[in-house]
């Protein structure tokens, strides 16, 4: 009985994790600007990671593998947003302006003042 | 199941490879090379070769990308246009590719139990590993003991590559103090990467040590461990700067590690000879031959790990500490 | 169950590679590599469980740690490059 409940729960979690991964991927292609695409990428970094890994941990039970999965999840949750932050910061400091309609690389010197 | 994965991954591999060749901006080519390495690592993983996948991920997607970027910082960013000889090269490469594809029609199917390699070589290794060495990972057993001579050659190749790069980049001997220019770099002034990076560095080094000593029971071993520990020190160098990283692990120590690793491996072989066995026959190292084999493998894996870590870090510092010739 | 998730992750990897090939600015490509790296870790964990081999999780752990180092290196290099370009434009 508890096995069936765990199976259904992890099925739900894994499927919704997969859906979030797909949404993040499609968003990365269809969104117009670099800064908006970061939002799409961060979906997969956090939400999908949480759902998929918790789904697998529920299936694995209380073994060494669950500990490893928990560690992987922790490191992904820690390093994913950091890399995204560093990327957005580097882009902003190089002069890529947010809120533009196109995705051309404008430097600060050529920006109309 | 494996065919679906292979379809996706191999198609992506071909597309990425074509994009790498056609890219004119070298920076883009380096980024695409990182994706290529990851694809190869997943391919190896699907084919059940976990040790190779770990090495490819650690070395290809981590250290090699960093070293390429350091090299790009020293040279120009655009590829020089090359107009002559393209048609001839294309024709020759196409003919050779067709010949190679034709020659693969004779290969046995993937995982075919009647393939010649599964008749006497593979079953012998699979039987003799529990008998001689008594640990689960057959890949490590073959790598370090049954084919230990080849691995000795590999360590010497790594050593030679390190020395070669150091000769070309003209690093002066460590007696003179190297003037490392303090570059003003962006990452040092950002708080979030610093905090997270400092949290991660001990874990990376710890995981590298775990991989080093766990190589007999799971995927791991000296090469992967060396690459992982080098990645940890490279992260430190990225966050704190070249000079700090050189103060933490100076060049003398790196050269000592490279030389020491190669010497350690060779000297284990010589000690085996001195104790009455053949070169690199670890069974004579202890009273119980199984424990002798395990001890020998432990020591030479340590030697391999030291050599690889020292070599990768020396090459990284050789590139990263140079001023750009403008 | 695992197969559906693996196929979803594979499709997203294809989309990420398309973004890496297509992206007009360099930062789009770096973002695509980051996404690809995260998907690799997810795919490795899911397949390791699919094949019933939990000791292959070491690869996913290693790559989760290494992913950030690659991205930080790319950003460090790129800041140096744009600083150099800005200085070259000044002179």
Report the pLDDT value the prediction gives residue B176, as an integer from 0 to 100: 41
Provide the residue range defining the domain that includes C52. Answer: 2-90
Are the Cβ atoms of A86 and B190 closer than 8 angstroms?
yes
B257 vs B245: CA distance, rounded Å: 16
Q: Is the pLDDT of residue B180 over 80?
A: no
% of chain C beyond a pLDDT of 70: 97
Are the Cβ atoms of C80 and B204 closer than 8 angstroms?
no
% of chain B beyond a pLDDT of 90: 37
Distance of CA B170 to the CA centre of its chain: 24
B236 vs B232: CA distance, rounded Å: 6
> Neighbours of A (≥3 Cβ pairs closer than 8 A)?
B, C
Are the Cβ atoms of A75 and B190 closer than 8 angstroms?
no
Report the pLDDT value the prediction gives residue B2, as an integer from 0 to 100: 78
% of chain B beyond a pLDDT of 70: 93
Q: Which residues contact C29 (CB under 8 A, 6 or more apart)?
A: B28, B31, B32, C19, C20, C23
**Site of tokens 């350690």:** B264
- A window 57-76, beta carbon within 8 A of C: 59-60, 63-65, 68-69, 71-72, 75-76
Are the Cβ atoms of C35 and A28 closer than 8 angstroms?
yes
Task: Considering only the beta carbons, identify the residue of C11, C32, C41 that sits closest to A22.
Answer: C11
CB A59 within 8 A of CB C49: yes
> Neighbours of C (≥3 Cβ pairs closer than 8 A)?
A, B
Compare C28 and A97 and report the one with higher pLDDT. Answer: C28
Q: Is the pLDDT of residue B202 over 90?
A: yes
**Complex confidence, ipTM:** 0.90
| B193 contacts in chain A (CB < 8 Å) | 82, 85-86
The pLDDT tens digits for B212-252 are 998 888 888 899 999 999 999 999 988 888 888 888 888 89
Q: What is the dihedral of CA A86, A92, A98, A101, to 10 degrees?
A: -100
Which chain B residue has the Cα nearest residue C42? B42
| B187 contacts in chain A (CB < 8 Å) | 86
Report the pLDDT value the prediction gives residue A92, as an integer from 0 to 100: 83
Compare B82 and C3 and report the one with higher pLDDT. Answer: C3
A to B CB pairs, distance under 8 Å: 20
Alpha helices (H) along A31-63 = 34-43, 49-60
Average the pLDDT over B30-34 and give the result: 91
Report the pLDDT value the prediction gives residue A97, as an integer from 0 to 100: 78
Task: Considering only the beta carbons, identify the residue of A65, A95, A104 that sits closest to C57.
Answer: A65
The pLDDT tens digits for A34-77 are 888 999 888 888 999 999 999 999 888 788 888 889 999 999 99
C36 falls in which pLDDT band (50, 70, 90)? very high
Are the Cβ atoms of B28 and C29 closer than 8 angstroms?
yes
pTM over 0.80? The answer is: yes
Which sequence spans correspond to the domains of chain A?
Answer: 2-93
Structural domain tally of chain C? Answer: 1
Q: Report yes or no: A96 at the C interface, CB cutoff 8 Å.
A: yes
């Amino acid at each position: 009985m508890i096995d069936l409940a765990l199976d259904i729960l992890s099925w739900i979690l894994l499927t919704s994790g997969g859906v979030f991964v797909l949404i993040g991927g499609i968003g990365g292609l269809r969104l117009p600007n670099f800064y908006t695409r970061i939002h799409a990428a961060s979906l997969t970094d956090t939400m999908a990671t949480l759902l998929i890994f918790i789904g697998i941990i529920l299936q694995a039970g209380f073994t060494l593998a669950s500990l490893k999965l928990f560690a992987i999840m922790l490191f992904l949750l820690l390093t994913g947003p950091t890399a995204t932050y560093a990327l957005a910061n580097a882009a902003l400091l190089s002069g890529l302006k947010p809120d533009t309609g196109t995705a051309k690389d404008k430097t600060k010197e050529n920006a109309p003042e | 199941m494996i065919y679906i994965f292979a379809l996706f991954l191999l198609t992506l591999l071909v597309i990425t490879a074509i994009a790498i060749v056609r890219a004119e901006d070298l920076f883009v080519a380096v980024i695409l090379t990182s994706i290529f390495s990851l694809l190869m690592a997943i391919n190896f993983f699907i084919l059940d070769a976990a040790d190779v996948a770990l090495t490819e991920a650690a070395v290809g997607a981590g250290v090699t990308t960093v070293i390429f970027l350091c090299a790009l910082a020293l040279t120009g960013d655009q590829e020089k246009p090359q107009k002559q000889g393209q048609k001839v090269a294309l024709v020759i490469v196409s003919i050779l590719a067709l010949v190679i594809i034709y020659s693969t029609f004779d290969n046995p199917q993937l995982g075919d139990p009647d393939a010649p390699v599964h008749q006497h070589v593979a079953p012998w290794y699979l039987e003799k590993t529990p008998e001689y060495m008594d640990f689960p990972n057959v890949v490590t057993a073959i790598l370090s003991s049954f084919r230990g001579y080849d691995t000795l050659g590999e360590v010497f190749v790594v050593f030679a590559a390190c020395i070669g790069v150091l000769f070309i980049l003209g690093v002066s001997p460590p007696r003179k103090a190297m003037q490392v220019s303090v570059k003003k770099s962006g990452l040092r002034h950002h708080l979030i990467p610093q905090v997270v990076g400092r949290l991660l560095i001990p874990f990376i080094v710890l995981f590298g040590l775990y991989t080093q000593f766990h190589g007999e029971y799971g995927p791991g071993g000296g090469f992967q461990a060396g690459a992982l520990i080098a990645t940890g020190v490279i992260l430190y160098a990225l966050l704190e700067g070249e000079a700090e990283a050189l103060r933490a692990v100076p060049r003398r120590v790196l050269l000592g590690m490279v030389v020491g690793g190669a010497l350690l491996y060779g000297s284990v072989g010589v000690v085996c000879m001195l104790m009455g066995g053949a070169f690199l026959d670890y069974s004579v190292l202890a009273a119980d031959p199984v424990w002798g084999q395990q001890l020998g493998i432990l020591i030479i894996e340590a030697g391999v790990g030291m050599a690889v870590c020292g070599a990768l870090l020396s090459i990284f510092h050789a590139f990263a500490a140079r001023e750009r010739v403008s | 169950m695992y197969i559906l998730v693996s196929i979803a992750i594979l499709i997203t990897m294809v989309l990420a590679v398309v973004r890496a090939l297509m992206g007009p600015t360099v930062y789009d490509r770096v973002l695509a590599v980051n996404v690809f790296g995260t998907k690799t870790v997810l795919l490795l964990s899911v397949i390791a469980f699919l094949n019933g081999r939990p000791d292959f999780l070491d690869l996913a752990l290693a790559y989760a740690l290494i992913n950030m180092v690659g991205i930080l290196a790319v950003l460090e290099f790129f800041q140096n490059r744009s600083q150099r370009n800005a200085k070259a434009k000044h002179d």
